[in-house]
Amino acid sequence: MVTGVLEMDADNSLHKQAAEVSNGRGESSLSRSDASEAQPNAKRVRVQMQKELTFKDMYENKELFEEDDEEDTDWEPCPVEKSVEVIKWFCKNCTMDNLDNDICCEECGEHKDSKILSLGHFASPFAQDGGLNEIQPSIKAMRDFDSQESAANSSTAIGFDERMLLHAEVEKKSHPHPERPDRLRAIVASLTRAGIFPGRCYPIPAREITQEELMMVHSSEHIESVEVTSKLMSSYFTSDTYANKHSACAARLAAGLCADLASAIVSGRVKNGFALVRPPGHHAGVKDVMGFCLHNNAAVAALAAQAAGARKVLILDWDVHHGNGTQEIFEKNKSVLYISLHRHEDGTFYPGTGGAHEVGYMGAEGYCVNIPWSRGGVSDNDYNFAFQHVVLPIASEFAPDFTIISAGFDAARGDPLGGCDITPSGYAQMTHMLNALSGGKMLVILEGGYNLRSISSSATAVIKVLLGESHVPELENSFPTKSGLQTVFEVLDIQNNFWPSLKPIFEYVMSLWEMRCLGKKVVDKQTKKRRRILVPKWWKWGRRSFLFRMLNSHRRVKSKRLC
């Protein structure tokens, strides 16, 4: 009852104020000394009244909302807060987003309408290609083509199946996932344009890996967690590791291709091979699915090689990320030597594992060799120096029967995730150095790499080395950066305890490191000496500049006489 009375009084006061404003009697509350201020003040009252009135009041006092024509001339609309849709396009090459009016990607420079998916790295990065005819490879023909004659005529086999392209992220997000089917499409387009595949390489038929073979690498829980995704339209193991209903099949095909390639190479049916597969595998551990990886393809291939007769297997991982899954699987196994070169940065770079002190355990110490770079921007010289002074000496002493390269190309120049600077010729050089091991029996397995131009050109360069078609110049002594030298020195200091062949190399690199540090100290000492003999800066000002020059020249003459 009290509430109702109060509401009636409030309504009456509102009507009264509205009437006063509409009848012009509101001027009594205005300053009558200045008539020019009356109209703006009345307008402010009206605006205030508009805010306070209810819908009923508005209906009964329509005159409050009727404005004169002369006031409409200076009317300006109030800014309306609403989300402005910015039209963007995502670069085909590196997936970075760009504004609609940009022609080329601000990140990698790739043209908006690049034909990299149909021409590979032969496509022009700056404009649409008019001079090159698009070659659409018959992927089905690649899969179905199988003859003993082609195997006899070719020393290099390639494993590929188009069903692996069906593994893709279903959920549409604000940014395309870097591990996408276009990675394989760009490589296949480059190989087709170069006349390498199909043509000079032998395509092996694809098969899905069996559960019994996977059980030698992964736990039953791991295998079941991957298999259950075939019943789901979309799922996620981690925030960045997706799956759809085709992912389990793609992972089985990738592992099966790697196993069959390893068996074919060890048995001598082909000399070497390249597994053009996805999803990648080196982050997949005994139980864990992570880092875009479902099944560990390199581990499956290593065990398949041993089943085919190889006693000792070398796995060299040059992906920019540490292969924590591969290390976990073999860190107690002396028959498999795992060497990884990766960004580490004191554990702050994904996945955070792979420090130089991680060497294996339970009798297999020294069979895990981690070369953890302390920063990004690592170049060919750093990798070559590490190969010459760590990788090759240890691998030669190990004397593998079979070599596997976990070939992630995300340390390549321009990769959006890697942030390093390896060139295609750098990858070709590393492949050439490893080719001398195990009698040339080598399998290269695709891991990461998310810049299509970099990954396709680098993969092509590596396959040319496998075919023996690429002339790789002999390496001269390439001197690394200071941080690269420090990393190699720290790795040698640890691995020197397990590999006798490293002792003279460790002493040599230690001398290089001491000279590098000593040279810095000498420079610092000379700099401090110069600072002591220099006159304070304020002597240079005004009329004292002449005196400063005279004193300084006098000291120089005196120092020359003393010498």
CA-wise closest residue to 440 among 428, 451, 431: 431
Q: How far is CA 487 from the centre of its chain?
A: 22
8 A C-beta contact, residue 225 and residue 289: yes
8 A C-beta contact, residue 286 and residue 215: no
Give 391's DSSP letter. I
For the chain, how many residues are written?
Answer: 563
| Type of residue at 40 | P
Counting Cα atoms < 13 Å in the Cβ hemisphere of 145 gives 19
CA-wise closest residue to 275 among 295, 255, 299: 255
Token couple for 215: 């059980």
Going from the C-alpha of 417 to that of each of 290, 321, 405, 414, the distances in angstroms are: 16, 10, 20, 9
Q: How far is CA 189 from the centre of its chain?
A: 22
Which positions are annotated as active-site residues? 283
Rounded to whole angstroms, the Cα distance separating 283 from 352 reads 12
Token couple for 427: 């990858």
Token couple for 335: 């028959």
Please report the sign of the dihedral spanned by the C-alpha atoms of residue 433, residue 324, residue 322, residue 494: negative
Rounded to whole angstroms, the Cα distance separating 324 from 301 reads 17
CA-wise closest residue to 250 among 280, 289, 274, 288: 280
Phi/psi of residue 389, each to 5°? Answer: -110, -10
Q: How far is CA 376 from the centre of its chain?
A: 11
The secondary element (H helix, E strand) that includes residue 156 is strand 156-159
Token couple for 194: 């170069």
Which residues, at least 6 apart from 226, have a Cβ–Cβ distance to it below 8 Å? Answer: 243, 247, 248, 251, 289, 294, 295
Count of beta carbons in the 10 Å neighbourhood of residue 391: 23
β-strand pairing of 241-244 with 156-159:
unpaired
8 A C-beta contact, residue 356 and residue 389: no
| Type of residue at 142 | M
Which residues, at least 6 apart from 362, have a Cβ–Cβ distance to it below 8 Å? Answer: 332
